[in-house]
């Protein structure tokens, strides 16, 4: 599904160029190397590919079919997919359960045929799949698309085309749209086991089978942090979600309870999502919740302590060795305690040197699990003696087990954040509250949510994780089974015994 060796584009437009919204053009620009079968009733040629007037004329059964035509033409194209023997179909058009009576009737017709033929459906109302690891994309829209180890499950194209600004990039993204058939519970376990992904994002409007989703979510949390952004939480938002995808959103308090029980990390805003993604991509974990603070401003240190209290973090108790090291740098009147205001010492020994030695002492302190660094970004570049980005990078490289996060304030804060994150071993935030919240999430996942999920799965006899071996005769599968064909491995072929998984072994086995 996410890396097919062949794909059919049914109803693909003949227009090309700027504003053409041509999925074939996007797919080629992406660098896809598989076989492509464009289907357009006018025939001819599109971008050098022969266009078939019907999918039935294509020389083989494609691994995946994308129906990218207007709504009223979808049923006929879907019938072609069924007759050809396609096992999974992406339907791009909207206007089915989220539309009028005719749309609902077409939806029912399609779902009936899908059930009879064992076809799985992504959508309708979707941009489909983006797989940056395999140069595959079914979107008809071009978009800025940086690679990041983030798995995304969404119900809106905004999280496909906007992934750079909302999540910081993606590795694998699946937009389920109206979620008429394939739903999150069938997908999240596969993402959780993908070693190329560090964190999973879920953007949810609603869910059909809450119990099934919770089971799958617990399984995923045992492997990776899962950040969920639930929209439609207000009464007005719920109404809008219903008209968007036809989702039944339900009461937000019920979702909140389900997310907590499943171990999901709920983000209240898209800014929270970005913060959490950067945190989980950068740091493998955190030893505890004892945080050290070093700051150029005493007031900022108090701000940090208040933020820790709101998030359940503790102000670290510094060791005697750490206190002595800092005392040697400081004036006699200075009382050494966490948070550390480095400015009095900096007046004597210079800001960079004091910052370097104080940070080294904290990073070597076994009672400190992470360090929040505060510095100023209010000086013009040619007069700036407060730039300690290189010092933070060096300390982070020496101690990868201990997170360093930063907050900087002043007119050049955006420039500073970019520099601080350049080496991808420090995360910088626009406020101390956001820094504290992200460290708290890192701690909760590693010390509470993941261990709880692992324990639950080890004690549960009812949950069956998603199959990661082929389904046919080897697993007792039968033709027409409904397992989703997931990531096709190089050289894989459809299961000869009728299963949806590709062959990985000898001929005749799957």
CA angle 162, 171, 472 (to 5 degrees): 125
Instruction: At 153, give phi and psi (nearest 5°).
Output: -120, 120
| pLDDT band at residue 250 under the 50/70/90 scheme | low
Residue 213 has pLDDT above 70, yes or no: yes
Instruction: At 171, give phi and psi (nearest 5°).
Output: -105, -45
β-pairing, 136-137 vs 128-131, is antiparallel
Q: How far apart are CA 55 and CA 60, in angstroms?
A: 9
* pLDDT tens string 78-136: 999 999 999 999 999 999 999 999 999 999 999 999 999 999 999 999 999 999 999 99
**Where would I find the H helices in 55-183?**
74-84, 101-117, 158-161, 163-166
Q: How far apart are CA 431 and CA 146, in angstroms?
A: 25
CA angle 440, 446, 448 (to 5 degrees): 80
Q: What integer pLDDT is reported at residue 491 of this predicted model? A: 37
* pLDDT tens string 377-427: 998 888 989 999 999 999 999 999 999 999 999 999 999 999 999 999 999
334, 462 in Cβ contact below 8 A?
Answer: no
Which is more confident, 468 or 225?
225
Where does 132-238 show beta strands of DSSP type E? 136-137, 147-154, 170-175, 199-204, 226-230
Q: How far apart are CA 12 and CA 236, in angstroms?
A: 36
Residue 241 has pLDDT above 90, yes or no: no
Where does 365-450 show beta strands of DSSP type E? 370-376, 404-409, 427-429
CB atoms within 10 A of CB 250: 14
| pLDDT band at residue 304 under the 50/70/90 scheme | very high
Mean pLDDT, residues 210-214: 93
Structural domains in the chain plus CATH codes:
1-127 (3.40.50.720), 143-282 (3.40.50.261), 285-448 (3.40.50.261), 470-510 (no CATH)
- The overall average pLDDT reported for the chain is 88
CA distances, 116 to each of 76, 98, 110, 179, 466 (Å): 16, 24, 10, 19, 23
Q: What integer pLDDT is reported at residue 332 of this predicted model? A: 86
CA distances, 441 to each of 153, 166, 409 (Å): 20, 19, 23
Q: Locate tokens 């939806």: which residue?
A: 107
Q: What integer pLDDT is reported at residue 48 of this predicted model? A: 95
β-pairing, 265-266 vs 226-230, is parallel
pLDDT above 90 as % of the chain: 80
266: its two tokens: 């709920």
DSSP 52: B
Mean pLDDT, residues 279-295: 97
Q: What integer pLDDT is reported at residue 206 of this predicted model? A: 87
| pLDDT band at residue 503 under the 50/70/90 scheme | very low
323, 336 in Cβ contact below 8 A?
Answer: yes
Does pTM surpass 0.85?
yes
Least confident of 96-100, 225-229, 437-441: 96-100
Residue 295 has pLDDT above 80, yes or no: yes
Q: What integer pLDDT is reported at residue 479 of this predicted model? A: 40
* pLDDT tens string 447-497: 999 999 999 888 876 666 655 433 333 333 334 444 454 433 333 344 433
| pLDDT band at residue 280 under the 50/70/90 scheme | very high
392, 371 in Cβ contact below 8 A?
Answer: no
CA distances, 342 to each of 5, 348, 432 (Å): 59, 11, 17
Mean pLDDT, residues 60-64: 97
9, 58 in Cβ contact below 8 A?
Answer: no
């Amino acid at each position: 599904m996410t890396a097919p060796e062949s794909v059919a584009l049914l109803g693909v437009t003949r227009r090309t160029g700027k504003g053409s919204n041509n999925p074939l053009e996007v797919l080629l620009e992406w660098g896809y190397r598989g076989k492509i079968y464009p289907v357009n009733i006018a025939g001819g040629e599109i971008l050098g590919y022969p266009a078939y007037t019907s999918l039935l004329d294509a020389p083989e059964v494609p691994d995946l079919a994308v129906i990218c035509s207007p709504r009223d033409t979808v049923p006929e194209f879907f019938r072609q997919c069924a007759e050809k023997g396609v096992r999974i179909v992406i339907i791009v058009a909207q206007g089915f359960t989220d539309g009028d009576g005719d749309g609902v009737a077409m939806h029912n017709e399609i779902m009936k045929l899908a059930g009879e033929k064992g076809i799985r459906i992504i959508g309708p109302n979707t941009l489909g799949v983006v797989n940056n690891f395999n140069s595959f994309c079914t979107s008809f829209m071009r978009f800025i698309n940086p690679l990041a180890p983030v798995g995304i499950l969404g119900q809106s194209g905004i999280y496909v085309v906007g992934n750079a600004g909302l999540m910081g990039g993606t590795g694998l993204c699946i937009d389920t749209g109206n979620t008429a058939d394939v739903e999150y519970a069938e997908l999240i376990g596969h993402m959780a086991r993908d070693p190329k992904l560090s964190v999973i994002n879920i953007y949810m409007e609603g869910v059909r089978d809450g119990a099934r989703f919770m089971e799958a979510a617990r399984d995923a949390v045992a492997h990776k942090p899962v950040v969920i952004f639930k929209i439609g939480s207000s009464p007005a938002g719920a109404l809008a979600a219903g008209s968007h995808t036809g989702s039944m959103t339900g009461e937000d308090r019920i979702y909140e309870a389900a997310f907590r029980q499943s171990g999901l990390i709920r983000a209240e805003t898209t800014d929270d999502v970005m913060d959490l993604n950067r945190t989980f991509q950068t740091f493998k974990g955190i030893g505890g919740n004892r945080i050290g603070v070093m700051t150029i401003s005493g007031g900022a240190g108090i701000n940090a302590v208040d933020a820790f209290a709101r998030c359940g973090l503790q102000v670290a108790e510094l060791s005697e060795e750490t206190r002595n090291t800092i005392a040697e740098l400081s004036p006699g009147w200075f009382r050494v305690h966490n948070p550390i205001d480095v400015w009095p010492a900096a007046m004597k020994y210079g800001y960079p040197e004091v910052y370097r030695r104080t940070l080294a002492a904290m990073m070597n302190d076994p009672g400190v699990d992470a360090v929040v660094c505060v510095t100023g970004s209010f000086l013009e570049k040619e007069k700036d003696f407060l730039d300690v980005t290189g010092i933070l990078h060096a300390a982070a490289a020496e101690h990868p087990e201990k997170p360093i996060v930063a907050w900087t304030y002043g007119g050049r804060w955006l420039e500073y954040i970019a520099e601080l994150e350049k080496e991808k071993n420090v995360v910088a935030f626009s406020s101390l509250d956001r820094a504290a919240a992200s460290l708290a999430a890192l701690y909760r996942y590693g010390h509470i949510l993941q261990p709880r999920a692992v324990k639950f799965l080890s004690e549960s006899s009812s949950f069956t994780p998603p199959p990661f071996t082929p389904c046919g005769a080897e697993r007792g599968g039968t033709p027409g089974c409904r397992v989703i064909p997931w990531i096709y491995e190089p050289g894989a072929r459809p299961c000869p015994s009728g299963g949806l998984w590709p062959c990985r072994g000898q001929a005749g086995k799957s």
